[in-house]
Amino acid sequence: MLNRKTLRTIHLAGTVWFIVCVSFILVLALLQAGVKWWVVFSLSGHGVLIIFLLVSLYLFVIFKGIRSSQTVQAEHPLTSTTYYMVFYVTTPFLGALAGCLGYLGIATGIQFLLGVALGTFVATFLVWVIVDPVAGVLEVMLLPASRRSRAERLALAKAQREKQQRDRERLLEEILEKEESQKRHWREVLKGEAEKLAGLLTVDVTDFKQAEREAVDIGANAWQIGGLGCMQQLHEMAIDICRQRNKNKDVVDYIGLWWDGIGSWRNPSLHKAANP
């Protein structure tokens, strides 16, 4: 029997043949309606291209949607068979053959070609748009084995989604717990540095340069320990300690200025002023 690659090739050829027949019918209808040749050719540049794209997309969606839903042979014992798929993809050619036999000896020339095109169009529309979807639905609805297989497949898919959701939630909890554990570790390691940094915020103007140098060393050390996250936590700890010492009074935050340029630390106030 034919393999899937051959079936796809035949389906593509059938689709192209179907589009050619539809285009022929449209052009002939325009000419019979009194439209001049030059108008038909002017429309062919845009109209035929649009028709080609729309019909191709439409048939592709139908083919992919129905074929993908029939990958489970237990749910579709008829429409998933090779015999049915051969019939499905050769429908445009079977319709053309029926039109040829129907008009053979009755009409010649344009009328004969029109009969072939109409046979292709009618057969393809009936099978691809009506018969195939209805057959797929009836298989699932009427056959007990198909209903049972579909129910099992949906239950398995639901269980997999729930498992994936639980895995994501567990991973998120692990990440949050790891971050919290890291923060606790940093609080223990940086407690003395935070107290020293808080003391530097209240130094006299005469010692400001020395305070800045010490603060830079503390910030660089925090960057080496844990990067930007460690620096941010040390900054928050120092500000909280300074506020407690000054009974919740406003604290002038020099730390952001002192640390600007250490690692990826940027002073928020300076960058807001530079990028209003």
- Tens digit of pLDDT per residue, the chain (276 long)? 567 778 878 888 888 898 888 888 877 777 776 666 555 555 455 555 566 666 555 555 555 544 444 456 667 777 778 888 889 889 999 999 998 888 777 777 888 888 899 999 999 989 988 888 888 888 877 777 767 777 777 888 888 999 999 999 999 999 989 888 888 888 888 888 888 888 888 877 667 888 888 888 998 988 988 888 888 888 888 888 888 887 767 777 888 888 888 888 876 654 443 334
Alpha helices in the chain (DSSP H): 4-32, 37-43, 49-69, 82-89, 91-103, 110-124, 132-142, 144-189, 191-200, 208-245, 255-258, 268-274
Q: How far apart are CA 238 and CA 235, in angstroms?
A: 5
Q: Which two tokens stand for residue 50?
A: 């649009």
Give 250's DSSP letter: -
CB atoms within 10 A of CB 139: 20
pTM score of the predicted model: 0.51
- Contact by Cβ (8 Å): 121, 95: yes
Looking at residue 171, what is its pLDDT? 92
C-alpha span between 59 and 53 (Å, rounded): 10
